[in-house]
Amino acid sequence: MKYKAEEIKVLKDIEAVRRRPAMYIGDTDKRGLHHLIFEVVDNSIDEAMVGYCDRTEVIIHKDESITVKDNGRGIPIDEHPTEKKPGVEVVMTTLHAGGKFDHKVYKVSGGLHGVGVSVVNALSDWLEVEVTRGGKTYFQRYECGKTTTPLKIIKEESGLPNGTQVHFHPDPKIFNTIRFSFDLVAERLRELAFLNKGLLITLLDEHKNISREFLYKGGIVEFINFLNQGKEILHQPFYIHEKKNDTDIEIALQYTDAYTENIFTYANNIHTEEGGSHLIGFKAGLTRSITTYAKNHNLLKDLQLSGDDTREGLTAVISVKVSEPQFEGQTKTKLGNSEIKGLVESFTFSYLSMYYEEHARAAEATIKKILTTARSRVAAQKARELTRRKGFLENSPLPGKLADCSERDPEKSELYIVEGDSAGGSAKQGRDRTFQAILPIKGKILNVEKASQDKIFASEEIRAIIKATGMNTGDNEEEKKPLRYTKIIIMTDADIDGAHIKTLLLTLFYRLGRYLIKEGHIYVAQPPLYRIKKGKKGLYAYSDEELKEIVDKLDKQPEIQMYKGLGEMNPDELFRTTMDPENRILKQITLEDAAEAERIFTILMGTKVEPRREFIEKNAKYVENLDV
């Protein structure tokens, strides 16, 4: 199919973008800033999905400008029939202008709204585009979304490969920061490479002089292998790829010995974090195929399997590509196409049933794992029923060791989860009782990464945390109550044990209440590492670098005290340095890359020792303030 300017459909102008950028990119902070890169990259990916592009390159320049280039067909440069401008200028300056509305050029695409690159242009103080088509390279420049130069030929040479290069600089008047994160960009590009097998994506950061290449010929099967690093697998990955009409469905799955499910869903390369019809169809097909196999082979006996039973230890990637996807909002986090549910359910059931009949060992290992899970679920239900009969999870008072605050508005309240009785005592005495609650915990809680449900809910410390926070573990309607505090702050000693306890708590929230992290409720307090005394004045340093700066400024030697535990500070000092909203340092825990988070939690907290040893050896050079 020829791609010409007449294929570009014009819907409306872009005047509102600079006034309300959050409507188009989510926010004007870190997330929105990086969204600019991904909007431009999506255009290259769309070219790859229709077979015209196999290389994409992203460069983060030292001036925080970004270059994205590909070897696709190149944006049309001929005159648009109604706009009387070159096609590339229409695409760059007109909202809802693109070749993705009538499916003549793109059967499927991620940038369905047609606002992508025009929004990037509008939110950049300058943008330059180069298009190579037919042996000629064309150039045009824009400032704040408006054209500043005519389209002109800057190079002409036979044999020049077609392609598009977009070079832009985010407008610092719009964004809170224009500092790009190499890791965040790399994570999304890696994900796109998994979803588009055979596509080479390269990333270069001129700041750090580092680069990465992403090329996965195995596609989402390699994605499964990546996600399951460090886990004990039960069988080789199962993979299906089916096309029906304009719908393309890819599914890969593998069971491990883990206690959690790990499912990633995508629609037209967009990570649908809230799932949707493809996820519902997959779950239904999976449960039906496993239950049918177990019944046909007389394995269930008196057990009734639930959907949750069939997904414990499961890692799966579901990727669908459809011509008319229905997303919920511009953020595209949930797929709504009802017809996709039936297709995915049917394919999953038929192919997985066939797979189990042909692979007896994989079926046996999987069913054995699921039956164990079902029995554990029954035991966990009995344990929870027992605690309810004792009044723990219903109308019982809060945990006895919780020192609550007087404020009852969760938006104004915060909970400190503090390691040890000594630090807990100091925190209780030093806190602002109006809005700060304290929950001391006894040392190292249960590692939920290695524990079954019945053991998790039998843990007194974990039940206390669940009760105190009001977190929803998804168990029953009674627990689905609003949080009691919008800030849940982990406060531990700055030593090895403190770091371990902090990791155990983060694992608990990641596995049992991941929504708390996604919604920004989890924080880590950063107590000072040093107290520098000069005369009657005391200064505090929160890092070795800060200590050096303070010492260098003093005209003579100070007395330096290194804190090893929170309990070494008196209540007033603990509040002033670590809990006072005017002075404290809190680090908000975010979930920017769920796949990488899953991998790291498995490596650090899982059952396999070797991947953990390799991780420690690789990252030991980055450790600071190690006290052994």
Domain ranges of the chain: 5-214, 220-381, 410-527+569-622, 530-562
pLDDT value at residue 400: 77
Phi-psi region of 104 (alpha: psi -120 to 50; beta: other; left: phi over 0): alpha
Please check whether residue 331 is in contact with residue 323, taking contact to mean a CB–CB distance below 8 angstroms: no
Task: Tell me if residue 497 is catalytic.
Answer: yes
pLDDT value at residue 349: 97
Tens of pLDDT, residue by residue over 515-570, are: 898 889 999 999 888 888 877 777 888 877 888 888 877 766 678 888 767 878 88
Two tokens, residue 361? 């060992």
pLDDT exceeds 80 at position 619: no
pLDDT exceeds 50 at position 392: no
pLDDT value at residue 457: 81
Q: Tell me the range of 162-171, 179-188, 229-238, 488-497 where mean pLDDT is highest.
A: 162-171
Higher pLDDT, residue 316 or 548:
316
216: Cβ contacts below 8 Å, ≥ 6 apart? 193, 194, 197, 222, 223
pLDDT value at residue 567: 78
Which of 412-426, 525-539, 574-588 shows the lowest mean pLDDT across its residues? 525-539
pLDDT exceeds 60 at position 311: yes
User: Residue 562: in which H helix or E strand, if any?
Assistant: strand 559-562
What is d(CA 120, CA 25) in angstroms, rounded to the nearest whole number?
9
Q: Tell me the range of 105-119, 206-220, 549-563 where mean pLDDT is highest.
A: 206-220
Please check whether residue 128 is in contact with residue 140, taking contact to mean a CB–CB distance below 8 angstroms: yes
Please check whether residue 612 is in contact with residue 603, taking contact to mean a CB–CB distance below 8 angstroms: yes
Task: Tell me if residue 495 is catalytic.
Answer: yes
At the fourth CATH level, which superfamily is domain 5-214?
A: Histidine kinase-like ATPase, C-terminal domain (3.30.565.10)
Which of 69-78, 96-105, 315-324, 378-387 shows the lowest mean pLDDT across its residues? 96-105
Two tokens, residue 14? 């872009």
What is d(CA 402, CA 314) in angstroms, rounded to the nearest whole number?
36
Tens of pLDDT, residue by residue over 498-528, are: 888 988 999 899 888 888 988 899 999 998 8
* H helices present in 167-263, as ranges: 182-195, 220-227
Q: Is 211 helix (H, G, I), strand (E, B) or coil?
A: strand
pLDDT value at residue 616: 65
Instruction: Give the rounded percent of residues in the chain with a pLDDT score beyond 70.
Output: 87
pLDDT value at residue 240: 95
What is d(CA 438, CA 415) in angstroms, rounded to the nearest whole number?
6
pLDDT value at residue 100: 55
Which of 105-109, 117-121, 238-242 shows the lowest mean pLDDT across its residues? 105-109
Quick one: average pLDDT of 296-301?
88
C-alpha to C-alpha distances, 138 to 11, 117, 151, 393, nearest whole angstrom: 25, 17, 6, 67
What is d(CA 111, CA 353) in angstroms, rounded to the nearest whole number?
35
**What is the residue type of 600?**
I
The catalytic position among 46, 312, 419, 449 is 419
Quick one: average pLDDT of 118-143?
96
pLDDT exceeds 50 at position 475: no
Quick one: average pLDDT of 573-581?
92
User: Residue 487: in which H helix or E strand, if any?
Assistant: strand 487-491
pLDDT exceeds 50 at position 209: yes
- Binned at pLDDT 50, 70 and 90, residue 99 comes out as low
pLDDT value at residue 204: 97
pLDDT exceeds 90 at position 488: yes
Q: Is 253 helix (H, G, I), strand (E, B) or coil?
A: strand
Query: 62-98 burial, b if ≥16 CB within 10 A, otherwise e?
Result: eebbbbbbbbbbbbbbebbeebebbbbbbbbbbbebb
pLDDT exceeds 60 at position 625: no
Higher pLDDT, residue 588 or 563:
588
- Binned at pLDDT 50, 70 and 90, residue 104 comes out as low
- Binned at pLDDT 50, 70 and 90, residue 61 comes out as very high
**What is the residue type of 161?**
P
Q: Can you say whether the dihedral through the CA atoms of 450, 452, 457, 460 is positive or negative?
A: negative
The catalytic position among 497, 546, 568, 592 is 497
Which of 149-158, 307-316, 375-384, 440-449 shows the lowest mean pLDDT across its residues? 375-384
pLDDT value at residue 112: 41
Please check whether residue 108 is in contact with residue 56, taking contact to mean a CB–CB distance below 8 angstroms: no
pLDDT exceeds 90 at position 71: yes
Q: Which CATH architecture has domain 410-527+569-622?
A: 3-Layer(aba) Sandwich (3.40)
- Binned at pLDDT 50, 70 and 90, residue 115 comes out as low
- Binned at pLDDT 50, 70 and 90, residue 332 comes out as low
Query: 10-30 burial, b if ≥16 CB within 10 A, otherwise e?
Result: beeebeebbeebeebbeebeb
Which of 144-148, 327-331, 426-430 shows the lowest mean pLDDT across its residues? 327-331
Tens of pLDDT, residue by residue over 248-293, are: 999 999 999 988 899 999 999 988 988 999 999 999 999 999 999 9
Instruction: Give the rounded percent of residues in the chain with a pLDDT score beyond 90.
Output: 53
pLDDT value at residue 626: 46
Residue among 589, 406, 407 at smallest CA distance from 488: 589
Query: 100-139 burial, b if ≥16 CB within 10 A, otherwise e?
Result: bbeeebbebbbbbbbbbbbbbbbbbbbbbbbbbbeebbbb
**What is the residue type of 88?**
V
Q: Mean pLDDT, the chain, as a whole number?
A: 86
pLDDT value at residue 199: 96
pLDDT value at residue 9: 62
Tens of pLDDT, residue by residue over 373-387, are: 898 888 877 766 665
What is d(CA 220, CA 213) in angstroms, rounded to the nearest whole number?
17
Higher pLDDT, residue 393 or 128:
128
Q: Tell me the range of 98-102, 106-110, 474-478, 524-528 where mean pLDDT is highest.
A: 524-528
Task: Tell me if residue 552 is catalytic.
Answer: no
**Whether CATH 3.30.230.10 fits 220-381:** yes
What is d(CA 614, CA 137) in angstroms, rounded to the nearest whole number?
48
pLDDT exceeds 50 at position 628: no
Higher pLDDT, residue 628 or 408:
408
Q: Is 466 helix (H, G, I), strand (E, B) or coil?
A: helix
The catalytic position among 125, 242, 257, 495 is 495
Please check whether residue 524 is in contact with residue 501, taking contact to mean a CB–CB distance below 8 angstroms: no
- Binned at pLDDT 50, 70 and 90, residue 618 comes out as low
pLDDT value at residue 114: 42
pLDDT value at residue 474: 57
Two tokens, residue 353? 């049933």
Higher pLDDT, residue 304 or 201:
201
Which of 51-55, 189-193, 441-445, 612-616 shows the lowest mean pLDDT across its residues? 612-616
Quick one: average pLDDT of 594-621?
69
pLDDT exceeds 80 at position 103: no
Task: Tell me if residue 544 is catalytic.
Answer: no
pLDDT exceeds 50 at position 79: yes
- Binned at pLDDT 50, 70 and 90, residue 12 comes out as low
**Strands of the sheet with 436-441, listed across from one edge:** 436-441, 414-419, 487-491, 522-525, 586-588
pLDDT value at residue 620: 55
C-alpha to C-alpha distances, 223 to 195, 198, 278, 489, 599, nearest whole angstrom: 8, 13, 18, 33, 11
The catalytic position among 493, 573, 593, 598 is 493
